[in-house]
Amino acid sequence: MRRPNPMATTFTYLESLARDLHKPEAEVMTMAFEAGLRQLWRERTLGLYLRGEIPREQAIERVGIDWVELADHQHAAMTEDLAWALGE
């Protein structure tokens, strides 16, 4: 089976978003870059928090309480599932 060309797919997404948003491709690329950086920052911050490397308050300051509460909920669910799978 032939895999799609990632660059062609990315370019198709870019063209489609630019058209749908009525914005130049350069502006859409800037928006995508900023969104990606925010996501990386959020993931890094939540990882630090869940590993106990930064306090909850600092995580909330960095990414907001909604993201920290979601991470807490997901971590608790994962821990519960893991305990169940291990028969604990």
Provide the H-helix boundaries in 1-88: 6-21, 25-50, 56-63, 65-85
Cα 87 to Cα 12, 67, 80, distances in angstroms: 47, 30, 11
User: For the segment 47-87, what is each residue's pLDDT rounded down to a tens digit?
Assistant: 999 999 999 999 999 999 999 999 999 999 999 999 999 98
3-14, pLDDT tens digit by residue? 778 777 889 999
Q: Contact at 8 Å (CB) between 49 and 56?
A: yes
- Would you say the pTM of this structure is higher than 0.85? no
